[in-house]
Structure 1
């Protein structure tokens, strides 16, 4: 968190200077707002991220040509925040706008178009529309295969998305295959403590849990937490790993340890997410299962009701 604070301090100083010295619609001012928004986005502070991304976007709309790449990126960032906030319809709306700009401005095999399709895939996966997610991933992969050499970092995100979709479809061998392909690329390209590696370890651990191999699951989650608890990363990614570890211990019937990890994950999610966010419903549902297993029925009902209220 210290590095985020330093980045914010630097960007705030830069913003103040630009606000004094530049006209209010100058693109450099938009860049300042965008940079501050990006830091808040990485911190999981989505309301603040949205506020600064929108300030940036308002300037871009006035000062830039309608097919300028910055506008497409701006739409994409706003869409990403809405997706993180669980507002998937709004996210898709902004992703559509971004794609339209890119289709007009860029050649059909430009990597930014692949990024647009990956955004769609992520959103559709969260919405449970796996057919649409796979179609978007196919479009992204097709562009990447024409543009990049095998093993390029760009493929890692695509493989990770494929892994998530196949995990949701309960095709665990396929999911594991894609997550391992993703891991292979990240291990070559990134330092060993990079947050992307942690996310991938956690995903692999979760698939091993779903396949019933709890020992392997915990080993991968331990690798993930070794990174997430010690380097700068989005705390919500750490919360997901805590939840995955909790699920593993719950299925192993170690309810005390499971509860410890659920509570760690819940604390972060309740601090960072809106009260009606779908990810909160997931953890409330999991905690209700745990309390039901330990015959604490009033607590189980409490969390069931909280999950149902979110929908």
Structure 2
């Protein structure tokens, strides 16, 4: 699959270069895409108007509006979908995600297809209802350039969050967990645990295995690994050391998952107390325990306390993160 993706991307890049040579007139133009979105996804799209949207697959569009509109209308035949006609403005003079006209190599000659490579990012513009149908909408998008300031800020923030301090297999394990590849991550950390003789590394690896087990739904094992990590660290670190925060949060999340809200609150409070002592009041890491405590109160039906903690998390994230960071969307959704 990786070979196919890389080959298709390279083909798009090659076509784009060829077409740029053949057509030196780089005027802006419009392409269209018709598809269905779930009602929840459409609501999220509406709420992020003015922000950015990423398509994480290859994006097929057409220069023919009617072709795309037909796809959008077809989606409304399914009761739980909203038909969307994306009206996409492209300025080929601005460096961006590779795209190319694939009419000459496409099986569907009549669609006049423009194909974008993976991870194309667009800014969400105005939206309007079509045909008086509240389940058929036009959404205007603008392809962002590589020099878009909001995109740059978001990219830099996300780079910081992909564990740049980790190396080798440890970093691979973090990335596998982030991608939801828990079985592969477990293999990595089992090997690392066998190889290391350093106690603090053992503590860190046990913590990561706790995250893996949580992701696999093996909650008792997750708690066991987290507590092993804490037990090792207790012999070597101050009780208020920041290393404890991650495991306390992890245990709290597991207890919340299995409905043990009393223990969940206890561990999240421990994490919060350490962070409050160790970090400035607007540090982004403080937002996590506030959010987690809010989540527990939410599950308990204590909505007043839940709202209070969610709002504290939001206030911190608003100060610490770019305005288009996904964690802000999470806070808004929770509230």
Q: Give the whole-Å Cα distance in 2 for the aligned partners of 1:127 and 1:281.
A: 19
For residues 196-227 of structure 1, give each alpha carbon's deviation from its aligned partner in whole angstroms, at most 9, with x where no partner exists. Answer: 11222222112111111111111112222221
**Contact 1:199–1:237 at 8 Å: present in 2 too?**
no
- Aligned with 1:282: secondary structure? helix
Larger Rg: 2
Residue 158 (structure 2) aligns with:
86
Question: How far apart are residue 257 of structure 1 and its match?
Answer: 0.5
Residue 280 (structure 1) aligns with:
328
Between 1 and 2, higher relative CO (CA 8 Å, sep ≥ 6) is seen in: 2
Question: How far apart are residue 134 of structure 1 and its match?
Answer: 2.1
Q: Give the whole-Å Cα distance in 2 for the aligned partners of 1:239 and 1:196.
A: 16
- Aligned with 1:193: secondary structure? coil
Of residues 246, 252, 271, the one that matches 1:199 is 246
Larger strand fraction of residues: 2
Question: How far apart are residue 91 of structure 1 and its match?
Answer: 5.0
Change (3 A) 1:124 1:214: same
What does 1:101-120 align with in structure 2 at a 5 Å threshold?
Answer: 115-120=167-172
Change (3 A) 1:84 1:280: farther
Change (3 A) 1:138 1:85: farther
Residue 256 (structure 2) aligns with:
209
- Aligned with 1:182: secondary structure? helix
Q: Give the whole-Å Cα distance in 2 for the aligned partners of 1:87 and 1:134.
A: 23
- Aligned with 1:229: secondary structure? helix
Q: Give the whole-Å Cα distance in 1 for the aligned partners of 2:330 and 2:186.
A: 23
Change (3 A) 1:84 1:279: farther
Q: Give the whole-Å Cα distance in 2 for the aligned partners of 1:167 and 1:85.
A: 26
Q: Give the whole-Å Cα distance in 1 for the aligned partners of 2:212 and 2:156.
A: 17
Of residues 201, 218, 223, the one that matches 1:171 is 218
Change (3 A) 1:205 1:196: same
- Aligned with 1:153: secondary structure? helix
Residue 301 (structure 2) aligns with:
253
Residue 142 (structure 1) aligns with:
194
Q: Give the whole-Å Cα distance in 2 for the aligned partners of 1:173 and 1:125.
A: 18
Q: How many residues align?
A: 182
Change (3 A) 1:283 1:171: farther
Question: How far apart are residue 184 of structure 1 and its match?
Answer: 0.5
**Contact 1:140–1:158 at 8 Å: present in 2 too?**
yes
Residue 204 (structure 2) aligns with:
157
Question: How far apart are residue 153 of structure 1 and its match?
Answer: 1.2
Of residues 271, 274, 278, the one that matches 2:319 is 271
Q: Give the whole-Å Cα distance in 2 for the aligned partners of 1:268 and 1:255.
A: 20
Question: How far apart are residue 87 of structure 1 and its match?
Answer: 4.7
With 220-229 and 245-254 compared, the bigger mean Cα shift is at: 220-229
Question: How far apart are residue 254 of structure 1 and its match?
Answer: 0.5
Change (3 A) 1:256 1:179: same
For residues 53-76 of structure 1, give each alpha carbon's deviation from its aligned partner in whole angstroms, at most 9, with x where no partner exists. Answer: xxxxxxxxxxxxxxxxxxxxxxxx
- Aligned with 2:319: secondary structure? helix
